[in-house]
């Protein structure tokens, strides 16, 4: 089987079959990264450029590890130390890098749609590692993989996404991915942090933390993105934590055990207390481990596509 697409620009642009193919392929790569020798030759002779125009810890390291585990050659670019600072355009920057015979581009960029623009102009496979507040497809795939590992098939499961939905590319990619996999999705947070028409994506909306926690099998908790808040959306972080923060007392008061997820970085004491983030119900570090396997699957399947 092959992916239906040459690029991974967003979950919006791929099919349910593509998602299942990536998740099933990742199962095999998870086995590889847990062997004593964690390397396979699948991407030998493939060169990947990791272009990060925005900060990242998990995604950048995870992609770099995935590429190395697949024996690809990698080059890393960070905008803060590049000629972007001298005014070079995105297309000029990327074309100059591609002139050095690069096959695949992994890019994080603050502008929503930057990857779609690039895909119209260059030949290399493009993987979106986050575009502004739009999509973060590999995060949604690793989240779906981790959910499947925790609760089995996602068809009919209840997944709630909590927090700053308005500024979150993780929320949008998760919604697209979970709906395609047949899960029921609800978002929960203060009205100011939930886009007005988000219900039209076929999901529920709630402003009640306790009720939503009682409803869900899985809680995917998102960070308040202080760096994207040009105006004040909440009175204070303390008040947010009081009404929407998940702590041990709230979790222990539920009638059932739920799975706790977070894409990171966590604002400890705001959206999650440490005793929840580090509890046995939390699969946050499994998400990070699974990210390498899922990104290996994406890189491998796109490289296979190149051969056809």
Binding site for ligand CP (CB under 6 A): 56-59, 130, 136, 139, 263-265
Q: Which of 30, 69, 108, 157 is catalytic?
A: 108
The per-residue DSSP string of 32-59 comes to HHTSSS----TTTT-EEEEEESS--SHH
CB of 141 to ligand CP, least distance (A): 12
Known active-site residue 169: no
Q: Which of 136, 157, 180, 295 is catalytic?
A: 136
Cβ-contact 133, 169 below 8 angstroms: yes
**Half-sphere exposure (Cβ direction) of 102: Cα atoms closer than 13 Å:** 23
Single out the residue of 166, 106, 107, 173 nearest to residue 135, CA to CA: 173
CB of 136 to ligand CP, least distance (A): 6
CB of 78 to ligand CP, least distance (A): 13
Q: Which residues, 6 or more positions from 278, have their beta carbon under 8 angstroms from its beta carbon?
A: none
Known active-site residue 238: no
Choice between 215 and 277, CB closer to ligand CP: 277
Provide the H-helix boundaries in 90-223.
Answer: 90-98, 114-119, 137-151, 169-180, 209-215
CB of 67 to ligand CP, least distance (A): 15
Known active-site residue 262: no
Helix (H) or strand (E) segment spanning residue 74: strand 73-78
> Rounded to an integer, what distance in angstroms lies between the CA atom of residue 158 and that of residue 228?
29
The owner of tokens 């770099």 is: 64
Known active-site residue 280: no
Choice between 2 and 57, CB closer to ligand CP: 57
CB of 156 to ligand CP, least distance (A): 27
> Rounded to an integer, what distance in angstroms lies between the CA atom of residue 143 and that of residue 139?
6
Choice between 60 and 148, CB closer to ligand CP: 60
Q: Which of 6, 58, 186, 207 is catalytic?
A: 58
Q: What does each C-alpha distance from 199 to 205, 206, 224 come to in angstroms?
A: 7, 10, 21
Choice between 108 and 215, CB closer to ligand CP: 108
- Interior/surface letters 136-147, b for 16+ CB within 10 angstroms, e for the rest: bbbbbbbbbbbb
Q: What does each C-alpha distance from 220 to 33, 153, 200, 212, 240 come to in angstroms?
A: 25, 17, 20, 12, 17
> Rounded to an integer, what distance in angstroms lies between the CA atom of residue 65 and that of residue 87?
31
Choice between 56 and 279, CB closer to ligand CP: 56
Q: Which of 85, 86, 232, 255 is catalytic?
A: 86
The owner of tokens 């055990």 is: 257
CB of 199 to ligand CP, least distance (A): 25
Known active-site residue 59: yes
Choice between 59 and 282, CB closer to ligand CP: 59
Q: Which of 25, 47, 59, 133 is catalytic?
A: 59
Residue numbers annotated as active site: 58-59, 86, 108, 136
């Amino acid at each position: 089987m092959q992916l239906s697409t040459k690029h991974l620009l967003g979950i919006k642009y791929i099919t349910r079959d593509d998602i299942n193919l990536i998740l099933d392929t990742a199962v095999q790569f998870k086995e590889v990264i847990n062997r004593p020798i964690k390397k396979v030759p699948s991407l030998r002779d493939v060169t990947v450029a990791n272009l990060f125009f925005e900060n990242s810890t998990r995604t950048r390291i995870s992609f770099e590890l995935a590429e190395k585990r697949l024996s690809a050659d990698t080059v890393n670019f960070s905008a803060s130390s590049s000629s972007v600072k001298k005014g070079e355009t995105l297309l000029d920057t990327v074309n100059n890098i591609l002139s050095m015979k690069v096959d695949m581009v992994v890019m994080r960029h603050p502008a929503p749609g930057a990857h779609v623009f690039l895909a119209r102009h260059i030949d290399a496979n493009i993987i979106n590692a986050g575009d502004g507040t739009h999509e973060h497809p590999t995060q949604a795939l690793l989240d779906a993989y981790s959910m499947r590992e925790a609760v089995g098939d996602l068809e009919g499961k209840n997944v709630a996404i909590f927090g700053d939905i308005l500024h979150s590319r993780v929320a949008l990619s998760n919604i697209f991915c979970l709906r395609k996999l047949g899960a029921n999705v609800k978002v929960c947070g203060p009205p100011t942090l939930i886009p007005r028409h988000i219900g039209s994506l076929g999901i529920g909306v709630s402003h009640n933390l306790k009720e939503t926690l009682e409803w869900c099998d899985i809680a995917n908790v998102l960070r308040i993105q202080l760096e994207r808040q040009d105006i004040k959306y909440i009175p204070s972080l303390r008040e947010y934590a009081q009404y929407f923060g998940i702590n041990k007392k709230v979790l222990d008061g539920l009638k059932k055990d739920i799975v706790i997820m977070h894409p990171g970085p966590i604002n400890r004491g705001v959206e999650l207390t440490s005793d929840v983030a580090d509890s046995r119900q939390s699969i946050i570090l499994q998400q990070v481990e699974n990210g390498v396997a899922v990104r290996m699957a994406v890189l491998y399947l796109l490289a296979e596509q190149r051969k056809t």
